Structure 1
């Protein structure tokens, strides 16, 4: 089988094919379609290596459909393949190094996300952009009002426009923040639409509903967890998953040191999921009833090491709990969490009544979320009704 590598750049793709340890063909093109004569359906089968990047999944699917064996390379271990050796790194050399590695074998592979989980991740990215933009605008408006000598009452982000409209502000101040307020009025219903789309995608993933039975975990966190992990059984234990998510301490104990040196967490892997798990940990510590074992365990760490360490430790443990629930097909069980080891939860028999109760609690979360979506969609319809009718449409109505 042919040994081929592609270096996927933003504007160009570098193609390299090797045979017998020597380069036999190179080409630089603008798009993958330009390589159809070399890699198209009518070409001979090849083993093609590409580095994991934004375009990797789409290119992977296209090459697979063309009949090739596609190897998506783990970029965190790309140096061991010779990429960037001796300080020389460009697209042509990277493609050549990858092609030689294909011929040698032993390429470290990255996981290729399943198509439906990709759709969930893309929808989460849209929702995240909208939510972060809304939060930024709210912060900016509050800052401008403070600079002008006005302070608004504390409120949720969703209720900010209501509080702002009820505040006694001078006309010139309202005019100053008017463009941001207009943008906020459009963002809230768009977020509701994104939530509804995400809800629809999650209906095809029963595991997401099970994960929401855990404390502090709602639909967004559960969906993000599933879209990143993809398959629970590809991790052998909970610590391996925590390392994949960057929630384990960094280590520097080489050089024959007798004492293990641990530092801050590595922060490798998906940053968004790591943030969401940290937010869930904060929620458990703030709002969960005191008898939950996860909260009690984190409180004990809080007393010894401080709140920040406790939150990160709880986020790491929560990732293991969610992984074990997914692996074993169970709902959250506080008793199991109380006796769980650092290696993950052991499978315990759960009564039908216990699972039913947990799923009932998850349905309460779902109804609360649906009310929020309906409220946002109602704002969309209200905005549409209040929008002025154009002259052409007004003429057609008469």
Structure 2
């Protein structure tokens, strides 16, 4: 068998499908490997170009195969899908990956280090716990509302709500489940605090995260999430490419020479997009409480709703993030204005 120079790997939980071609494009490798056989196979293979879809476990395999001298490149699955000729099988996916990785116009996903993935794990675990905290809060509020006990909305008012429940004349059978929900609420809140402190320690040791926090609306959580998700912004040619990757640019619907721009595409990293949007809403809320100005944000607020203005501001924040990470500078308010 001739040695392949390009190999497409369709990742899976147990059985991996491989497809390799030589310098002339002829197929020289079609093989299935068990998970335990992958490292031994590539260790005995001469260095070649290896393509994979960016999915669960892909960064681990990219690091592992890279130690053997292979040039491993990760691609977004949506960019590989057009190369699938017919049907949806592991073999067809491997063929498509092998072809897509050689395209000059293909965009690749940078391989993340273990430290970067660990920081992202903190963010994902914290986001999961925040969702759980919201669920527990809604459950407590709904159950006490059945007994006519209602206080103002917000997580910070749960203490008042529980105190009102303790003072109320509730049946004994209702106090036990409410006590358990209250314990889960405070335990989840404590776990979120632990992860937040861990993220704060990472931010204090990261120079890029400190620079990003100088941007209005970008706080501790947003800065560290951006640094961990965007280890190398050089993959984005312009600042608009980054905002488009985050799904903050209008989605075009053009035909017959007529340009039509719709709503934002909402593609890309949903977590980062939400953080930027929330930061932008915070800036707009504080701005409305202050004095009006003559800058572009105030002019937008005169014509658009607060949510529409927040999208525009989040788009601008993403472009500033690109500039700061690319140039290694800090935010300058006068220059931005």
TM-score (norm 1): 0.75
Name the residue aligned to 1:112: 110
Name the SS of the counterpart of 1:149 in structure 2.
coil
Q: Distance in 2 between matches of 1:232 and 1:25?
A: 35
Name the residue aligned to 1:245: 246
Q: Distance in 2 between matches of 1:28 and 1:75?
A: 20
**Offset of residue 9 of structure 1:** 2.1
8 Å Cα contact 2:151/2:157 also seen in 1:
no
Name the SS of the counterpart of 1:298 in structure 2.
helix
Name the residue aligned to 2:189: 188
Within a 5 Å distance, the mapping from 1:12-161 to structure 2 comes to 12-19=15-22, 20-31=24-35, 33-40=36-43, 42-80=44-82, 82-83=83-84, 85-86=85-86, 88-101=87-100, 105-106=103-104, 108-115=106-113, 116-155=115-154, 157-158=155-156, 160-161=158-159
| Distance 1:292-1:217 versus aligned 2 partners, 3 A rule | farther
Gaps in structure 1 of 5+ consecutive residues: 339-398
Q: Distance in 1 between matches of 2:296 and 2:105?
A: 41
Q: Distance in 1 between matches of 2:308 and 2:164?
A: 40
Could you list the per-position Cα deviations for residues 334-367 of structure 1 after superposition, in whole angstroms to 9, with x for gaps in the alignment? 21221xxxxxxxxxxxxxxxxxxxxxxxxxxxxx
8 Å Cα contact 1:74/1:108 also seen in 2:
no
**Offset of residue 150 of structure 1:** 1.5
Q: Distance in 2 between matches of 1:148 and 1:229?
A: 49
Q: Distance in 1 between matches of 2:76 and 2:50?
A: 14
Name the residue aligned to 2:328: 329
8 Å Cα contact 1:152/1:164 also seen in 2:
no
**Offset of residue 319 of structure 1:** 1.5
Could you list the per-position Cα deviations for residues 113-148 of structure 1 after superposition, in whole angstroms to 9, with x for gaps in the alignment? 442332221211111111121112112211222233
**Offset of residue 159 of structure 1:** 5.4
Could you tell which deviates more after superposition, 120-129 or 2-11?
2-11
Q: What's the Cα RMSD here?
A: 2.4
Q: Distance in 1 between matches of 2:326 and 2:5?
A: 38
Q: Distance in 2 between matches of 1:173 and 1:252?
A: 55
Could you tell which deviates more after superposition, 212-221 or 230-239?
230-239
**Offset of residue 101 of structure 1:** 4.6
Within a 5 Å distance, the mapping from 1:197-212 to structure 2 comes to 197-212=198-213
Name the residue aligned to 1:278: 277
Q: Distance in 2 between matches of 1:210 and 1:251?
A: 33
**Offset of residue 262 of structure 1:** 0.7
Gaps in structure 2 of 5+ consecutive residues: none
Could you list the per-position Cα deviations for residues 154-207 of structure 1 after superposition, in whole angstroms to 9, with x for gaps in the alignment? 44x255246423543324443332332221121111111111221222233112
**Offset of residue 94 of structure 1:** 1.0
Q: Distance in 2 between matches of 1:153 and 1:174?
A: 21
Q: Distance in 2 between matches of 1:105 and 1:221?
A: 34
| Distance 1:296-1:166 versus aligned 2 partners, 3 A rule | farther
Name the SS of the counterpart of 1:28 in structure 2.
strand
Within a 5 Å distance, the mapping from 1:288-327 to structure 2 comes to 288=287, 290=290, 296-327=295-326
Name the SS of the counterpart of 2:17 in structure 1.
strand
Name the residue aligned to 1:10: 13
Q: Distance in 1 between matches of 2:39 and 2:277?
A: 46
8 Å Cα contact 1:121/1:227 also seen in 2:
yes
Q: Distance in 2 between matches of 1:328 and 1:35?
A: 40
Q: Distance in 1 between matches of 2:320 and 2:47?
A: 43
**Offset of residue 296 of structure 1:** 4.9
User: What number of residue pairs does the alignment pair up?
Assistant: 328
Could you tell which deviates more after superposition, 55-64 or 224-233?
224-233
Q: Distance in 1 between matches of 2:295 and 2:135?
A: 34
